[in-house]
Structure 1
Amino acid sequence: MHTIEVVLAMLVAVVASGYLVRVLPLSLPLPLVQIGLGAVIAGVFNRGHALEPEMFFLLFLPPLLFLDGWRIPKQGLFRDKGVILELAFGLVVFTVIGAGFLIHWMIPVMPLAVAFALAAIISPTDPVAVSSIASRAPIPKRLMHILEGESLLNDASGLVCFRFAVAAVMTGSFSLATASLTFLWVAVAGLAIGVAVTLGVSTFQRWLWRRFGEEPGAALLVNLLIPFAAYLLAEEFNASGILSAVAAGITMSYVELSGRVSGSMRVQRTAVWNMLQFSFNGIMFVLLGEQLPGIVERAIKTVSESGHHSAWWLLVYVVVINLALVLLRLAWVWLSLRWSLLRARHRGEARQGTSWRIVVATSVAGVRGAITLAGVLTLPLFLPDGSAFPARDLVIFLAAAVILFSLVGASIALPRLLKGLELPADSGERKEEDLARKLAAKAALAGVERTRQQLVQNQTTENVQLYNDAASRVSLLYQRNLEKDAGPDADPDKVKRMEQGYRQLRTAGLTAEREELFRLTRRGKISDEISRRLIRNLDLLETRQRD
């Protein structure tokens, strides 16, 4: 019963955070508010919940990583794959080495392998935290795609480095050759298993639909179970469950291009996944906040392990480590950018330099999150000889503090760094959208005409006229997309205002229709069944208007 109460309390905290973030005068990122609520639950009401890292990884990470991989723009991901891979793998190794030696130098009593373990677990960025910060800062789309792609892939590299560092502490030895081969297997096998699970399940599901018909509830449940299957199967083969879940999500986005899923199922699935994403993201950060009071208390008790007696030294460690992470990231991003410019010049390409504000923003945007905390809590309590794991509580505290400082620092610095930044207009996206609308409208008009011709065959004159009138009314909706032409001489602001006006008027009409249907239902003029069906159609139309 206690577990159910804890889950309900966390869900209430997640709901409250959604409103608090709008009410609070300060522009705080949602994860920070959720962490604060978790700390209040644990510290004030003494209702905290002991986090089980393995259960945490299994329940929360697979669906969220799957969804991120599913929804991330693939064109941007593959266009900037070089930069993303450099950040996701090269930067992680660079951070582990640089921060590891710094931490060991600053805290000599912490063994070098333990310092490397701490550096490894704080190296991955968190996609949830990055997305939350981005919602309150004007991050350019391309930069956002790079940050999302990096945060999806660097979890595996960071956790693998962490695993090897912990193994070195436990065994007292480390083999670079073994580590490299293991890392290659973990990454390649994880990606392959994720792709295979999604393709296999989707193929089998389509066979079931053809044979027995489509069952929306079961299909939705299967969709929810795919990330767990990919994660568990990868872990069974000692591969990366995280990369497997991400690969499964990316593969699902390509499976969707077949168009074999009905529109109603897509609407239901989107609603369920949006609710799941909001709930799980919130619970992760509330759980993180619930761990903080105990982590801080234990860290203060063990501060003497660092060779000092004042708890203020903990703050010094946290500030230095965070500055080191930002500077290491800044150095890597700058070197990567210079290398890209040199390669472009060697190929004879003209490449414009990137604003220093974008470079600094990329460095500050490396926000850590729940994966870091869950990973560091898996540290063993004892060594094989029965002695305590060196500086375990101190490592956990420093990792948790890095999460908080990176969240606060990014939420304060990013809006100021990017405020008023003039970026070149991306006309390509607008052209692609216009082209898609026009080609889709032409295809729709052709489809309407084909269907009209089929319907009027062997019909009476009255029915033929009815079908012709219906076809004309439907065709008018698509004809608008063909007649609207925002050519090079068109005023973009005027076109935008016209679009906004159309949407506002159309939304006002849909709202009036819906209110009238509710009124008729309340008065008993129409049945609940008819009301629900008509209102659902209006909801779908309104959703299309907003997209």
Structure 2
Amino acid sequence: MHLIETVLLLLLAVVVSGSVARITRIALPLVQIGLGAAIVLATGTTVDLEPDIFFLLFLPPLLFLDGWRIPKEALFRDRAVILELALGLVLFTVIGLGFLIWWMIPEMPLAVAFALAAILSPTDPIAVQAIAARAPIPKRLMHILEGESLLNDATGLTCMRIAVVAATTGAFSIGSAIGSFAWLALVGVVTGVLVTMAISYAKGFVSRRWGEDVGAQILVSLLIPFAAYLVAEELHASGILAAVAAGVTMSFTERGGGIGGQSLAMTRIRRGVVWDTVQFVANGIIFVILGEQMPSILARAAEVVRGTSRPEVWWLAVYVFAIVAALAVMRFVWVWTSLKLTLFRRRHRGPPAKVGLRLTLVMSLAGVRGAITLAGILTLPFVLGDGSPMPSRNLAIFLAAGVIIVSLLVATFALPRLMKGVELPPEPSQEREEDRGRVAAASAALRAVEDASHAMAEGKTNPDLYSDVASRIMEVYRRRIETHTRTDEDDAVVARKIDAVERRLWLAGLAAEREELGRLARARQLDEVAARKMIREVDLQELRYL
């Protein structure tokens, strides 16, 4: 099958997977893996993957988006737990699991075992979200998992890179490893920050001087992670950390205008949609490719295992389940210890929250492996430095793929049940903060509307026109201030109920507007271009209430 046809088939599988997952209520990643396996069984051909190309195409945008969108305040608030999970747990996993794999499979070189353990350490919050759709994850827990994933992706992949260098060159020392890690991390982060700042500054300068092109702005945001990744790789630093740092920097430059200035509202709306699509497609294709590769991965792994001291194929399943069990036990021990220590350190701030068994189990099972693990393991080089084949490469790929599938299955059945009634330390309410923000924004809008109306009316023959229009607009803002400045708790609850009712009524009215405009267009009573423009205006209004 030609490359273009294969790509289109993979995209079709990603599209179909969403509907199948909703109909069957099976976790989306599992559906995509199954569709990938169905594709190879139907066509009889598989995709020949080039590891470096695969790594470049999928990881930078996904990690960049994680760094861009993760809530920074939540990340900072739970920084102790997140750092303990993302750094300490990764090193604990690499060392403990690496020696375990080497002990189980003596034919696998220790460096390859460490590389496999390193790539199995990152977790995938997107897979967790898909699994827990029927039992929503508490926001604070999801923020911790997102922060852990953001950092452990970079840590695990960097450790894997060091292990691969040791495997291909045959040389390893603690001093050189620490030096390599420091160079990879520091230069990678600095490169990501500088590349993003430079591009944002250039983009803002051009936009301020010659105007903003929405399509070009979106394309620039898509190219930033690849630019950061490639520049870092040219400096022999971590392109993964550069992509993460680029995403975090992008969020700060966008927050208040930053170096590059604020984007147009239309740019932000369209860019968000484009990035949502990129994330859905990239993650979906990775899981579809996993399913599509599974038959050939299994066949190659079976050939490898026949040459070991345990030649029976069923040992492959034993290895996979042993690794999954080891990962779960190590994560359980580390999570329990981490939460206990973190809460112990905070006792002086108030009574410590109870660390229950259910919470620890949820945190342990939520460490599902997914897209990052697959993308990373496929980048294992085919040959060593002397040109000989990489030993146990196919076996390592199979074990990683098996761990992904088994961890997804275990979490699919266990996580929604454990999630019910799980208790976390309370998260500070954001309602008061939102109220203050809305009041401040409305007050600023009142001043701006009043000043603008006076400026527009100056020297005009009908100044009342401007004051009347300004009064109608200002009345909306005054009502918003009145709603969000109520101090009595009962009044605040009633005000929020009024907001909810108003939201539903607005949505009903906008839906009726859109339906009527569509009817007029179909009856040729309204020009098609005008109808499209007016429907878009309705859609943009609707975004306020979604």
- State the TM bucket, normalised to the shorter chain: over 0.9
- Cross-structure match for 1:64: 62
CA distance, structure 2, for counterparts of residue 170 and residue 425 of structure 1: 48
Contact 2:359–2:422 (Cα < 8 Å) also in 1: no
CA distance, structure 2, for counterparts of residue 180 and residue 311 of structure 1: 38
What displacement does 1:350 show? 3.9
What displacement does 1:384 show? 4.7
Q: State the one-letter code of the partner of 1:194.
A: G
- Cross-structure match for 2:503: 503
- Cross-structure match for 2:381: 380
- After TM superposition, the structure 1 stretch with the greater mean CA deviation from structure 2, 283-292 or 367-376, is 367-376
- Cross-structure match for 2:164: 166
- Cross-structure match for 1:41: 39
Q: Secondary structure at the match of 1:296?
A: helix
Q: Deviations over 1:361-400 (max 9, x none)?
A: 1111111112222322233334455654332222211111
- Cross-structure match for 2:526: 526
C-alpha change, 1:393 and 1:211, in structure 2 (3 Å) is same
Contact 2:369–2:407 (Cα < 8 Å) also in 1: yes
Q: Deviations over 1:215-269 (max 9, x none)?
A: 2222221111111101111111111111111111111111112342111111121
C-alpha change, 1:123 and 1:196, in structure 2 (3 Å) is same
Q: State the one-letter code of the partner of 2:98.
A: G
What displacement does 1:136 show? 4.2
- 1:258 counterpart = 2:259: no
Q: Which runs of 5+ in 1 are unaligned?
A: none
- Cross-structure match for 1:320: 322
C-alpha change, 1:128 and 1:312, in structure 2 (3 Å) is same
CA distance, structure 2, for counterparts of residue 276 and residue 109 of structure 1: 40
Contact 1:118–1:399 (Cα < 8 Å) also in 2: yes
What displacement does 1:134 show? 4.6
- Cross-structure match for 1:418: 419
CA distance, structure 1, for counterparts of residue 273 and residue 382 of structure 2: 42
What TM-score do the two structures reach when normalised by structure 1? Answer: 0.93
What displacement does 1:171 show? 3.4
Contact 1:61–1:242 (Cα < 8 Å) also in 2: yes
Q: State the one-letter code of the partner of 1:3.
A: L
- Cross-structure match for 1:438: 439
Match of 1:339 among 338, 341, 347: 341
Q: Secondary structure at the match of 1:428?
A: coil
Q: State the one-letter code of the partner of 1:224.
A: L
CA distance, structure 2, for counterparts of residue 306 and residue 331 of structure 1: 32
- Cross-structure match for 1:478: 477
Q: Deviations over 1:5-64 (max 9, x none)?
A: 11111111111001111111xx32211111111111112332421222211111121112
Q: Which runs of 5+ in 2 are unaligned?
A: none
CA distance, structure 2, for counterparts of residue 181 and residue 134 of structure 1: 40
What displacement does 1:419 show? 0.7
Residues 176-191 of structure 1: matches in 2 within 5 Å?
176-191=174-189
CA distance, structure 1, for counterparts of residue 163 and residue 252 of structure 2: 37
- After TM superposition, the structure 1 stretch with the greater mean CA deviation from structure 2, 506-515 or 488-497, is 488-497
- Cross-structure match for 1:515: 515
- Cross-structure match for 2:369: 368
Q: State the one-letter code of the partner of 1:397.
A: F
Contact 2:140–2:427 (Cα < 8 Å) also in 1: no
- After TM superposition, the structure 1 stretch with the greater mean CA deviation from structure 2, 333-342 or 385-394, is 385-394
Match of 1:223 among 217, 221, 224: 221
Q: State the one-letter code of the partner of 2:131.
A: I
- Cross-structure match for 2:541: 541
Aligned residues: 541
Cα RMSD of the aligned pairs, angstroms, is 2.2
Contact 2:58–2:375 (Cα < 8 Å) also in 1: no
Contact 1:92–1:123 (Cα < 8 Å) also in 2: yes
CA distance, structure 1, for counterparts of residue 369 and residue 472 of structure 2: 53
- Cross-structure match for 1:285: 287
- Cross-structure match for 1:428: 429
CA distance, structure 1, for counterparts of residue 291 and residue 422 of structure 2: 34
- Cross-structure match for 2:116: 118
C-alpha change, 1:441 and 1:94, in structure 2 (3 Å) is same
CA distance, structure 1, for counterparts of residue 428 and residue 476 of structure 2: 26
What displacement does 1:407 show? 1.3
CA distance, structure 2, for counterparts of residue 129 and residue 354 of structure 1: 25
Q: Deviations over 1:270-309 (max 9, x none)?
A: 1211222212221111111111111111222332234223
C-alpha change, 1:337 and 1:303, in structure 2 (3 Å) is same
CA distance, structure 2, for counterparts of residue 123 and residue 362 of structure 1: 14
- Cross-structure match for 1:101: 99
Q: Deviations over 1:107-146 (max 9, x none)?
A: 2333333322221121111343244335444222122112
CA distance, structure 2, for counterparts of residue 299 and residue 534 of structure 1: 58
- After TM superposition, the structure 1 stretch with the greater mean CA deviation from structure 2, 283-292 or 382-391, is 382-391
Residues 1-16 of structure 1: matches in 2 within 5 Å?
2-16=2-16
Contact 1:127–1:152 (Cα < 8 Å) also in 2: no
Match of 1:203 among 190, 201, 204: 201
C-alpha change, 1:305 and 1:212, in structure 2 (3 Å) is same
- After TM superposition, the structure 1 stretch with the greater mean CA deviation from structure 2, 164-173 or 367-376, is 164-173
Contact 1:29–1:136 (Cα < 8 Å) also in 2: no
C-alpha change, 1:423 and 1:390, in structure 2 (3 Å) is closer
Q: Secondary structure at the match of 2:263?
A: coil
CA distance, structure 2, for counterparts of residue 487 and residue 469 of structure 1: 31
Q: State the one-letter code of the partner of 1:2.
A: H
CA distance, structure 2, for counterparts of residue 175 and residue 366 of structure 1: 30
- Cross-structure match for 1:247: 245
Contact 1:51–1:287 (Cα < 8 Å) also in 2: no
Contact 2:188–2:238 (Cα < 8 Å) also in 1: yes
What displacement does 1:424 show? 6.4
What displacement does 1:427 show? 5.2
Residues 482-493 of structure 1: matches in 2 within 5 Å?
482-485=481-484, 487-490=487-490
CA distance, structure 2, for counterparts of residue 384 and residue 8 of structure 1: 36
Q: State the one-letter code of the partner of 1:323.
A: A
CA distance, structure 2, for counterparts of residue 342 and residue 427 of structure 1: 19
CA distance, structure 2, for counterparts of residue 493 and residue 483 of structure 1: 14
Q: State the one-letter code of the partner of 2:326.
A: A
C-alpha change, 1:355 and 1:493, in structure 2 (3 Å) is farther
CA distance, structure 1, for counterparts of residue 357 and residue 491 of structure 2: 32
- 1:295 counterpart = 2:294: no
Contact 1:129–1:369 (Cα < 8 Å) also in 2: yes
CA distance, structure 2, for counterparts of residue 116 and residue 352 of structure 1: 36
Q: State the one-letter code of the partner of 1:432.
A: E
CA distance, structure 2, for counterparts of residue 56 and residue 94 of structure 1: 28
CA distance, structure 1, for counterparts of residue 405 and residue 488 of structure 2: 48
What TM-score do the two structures reach when normalised by structure 2? Answer: 0.93
CA distance, structure 1, for counterparts of residue 504 and residue 313 of structure 2: 58
Q: Deviations over 1:497-532 (max 9, x none)?
A: 433321111111111222222233334443333322
